[in-house]
Structures are given as C-alpha cells and as structure tokens.
C-alpha cells in the first residue's frame, strides 16, 4: 500500500496487481488503495449478502452500478439501485443483500483504509462464515447476530 495515490486509470474489469478475491461467493477486485482510502469493485450474485456489521473506524460508500441492493441500515430497511450512492457513517450497523434474480455490481470505498485490504486477503476462499466473522474481528469489522427472517 502506498501512502500517496498515483495518477492513472484502472480499466473496467481489471484490478490492482490482477488481484481477485472470492469472499463467500462474491467477487471483489481492489482498484485503488492508499492509507487514506481503499476502493474495490464487487459482483454480488443473486442470493448473496454481507450480514449486518459495523466499521467502527471507517466511513464506507457504495455506488450501485447495476442491479439493486436491499439494505439494513441501523436496523431499518432501505434499498438502492443503479446510480444510487449508499453512505455508511462509521459506527453505524449495515447489511447488504442481493435478493433479486440478477447480479449486482457496485463500487465500494472506505476511508481511511485501515486493514480492510488485509482482511479481504485473509478471507479470500474461506468457506466457513464463522471463520470469516472471527478473522473480521481482528480487522476492526464487527459482525452482528443475523437479522430475524
């Protein structure tokens, strides 16, 4: 990780260093990473989700590029579709769900980066959600009990 951002273009479908992470069935591609921010492209197949969790030390943003997310924001339902920007203040619980029959593509970014990039490297291809939750806690991401229903 660099402490400064370099000028350039990350082409569609590409990632930093060719890195592609498989995280519980979702595809993440890092596209920019410095100490101050971390951006990654995602693909959520139908039926995949990130359970409610909290980033105590990061602001998170999500630009939905294709499809529609169902959200749980501090316990309240919401939705976001292509073109929408989701704003997630640090310390606010949020869950992200693709309940549709089509994939959802989105650009995520967090600030500051903290150790989220390292977390994704560690949980790449980890099949056990409980192990993902355990590792996430070591990287300042706290998963909450699953919502009812």
DSSP state for residue 5 in the 8-state scheme: P
The Cα 113–Cα 111 span in angstroms is 5
Helix (H) or strand (E) holding 71: strand 68-73
Q: What pTM did the predictor assign?
A: 0.92
Q: Residue 146: CA atoms inside 13 Å, Cβ hemisphere, count?
A: 8
Domain 28-143: CATH superfamily, name plus number: Jelly Rolls (2.60.120.10)
Collapsing DSSP to helix, strand or coil, 135 comes out as helix
Stretches in the chain below the pLDDT threshold 50: none
The Cα 132–Cα 24 span in angstroms is 9
The Cα 72–Cα 63 span in angstroms is 16
| Ramachandran class of 6: left when φ > 0, alpha when ψ lies in -120 to 50, beta otherwise | beta
Can you give the residue ranges of every domain in the chain?
28-143
Per-residue model confidence (pLDDT) at position 148: 63
């Amino acid at each position: 990780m660099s402490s400064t951002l370099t000028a350039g273009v990350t082409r569609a479908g590409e990632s930093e260093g060719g890195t592609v992470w498989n995280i519980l069935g979702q595809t993440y591609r890092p596209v920019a990473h410095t100490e101050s921010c971390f951006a990654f492209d995602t693909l959520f197949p139908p039926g995949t989700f990130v359970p409610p969790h909290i980033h105590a030390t990061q602001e998170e943003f999500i630009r939905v590029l294709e499809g529609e997310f169902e959200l749980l924001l501090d316990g309240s339902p919401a939705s976001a579709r292509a073109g929408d920007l989701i704003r997630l203040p640090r310390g606010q619980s949020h869950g992200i769900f693709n309940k549709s029959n089509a994939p959802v593509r989105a650009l995520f970014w967090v600030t500051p980066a903290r150790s989220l990039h390292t977390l994704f490297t560690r949980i790449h291809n980890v099949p056990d959600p409980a192990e993902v939750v355990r590792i996430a806690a070591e990287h300042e991401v706290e998963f909450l009990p699953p919502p009812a229903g």
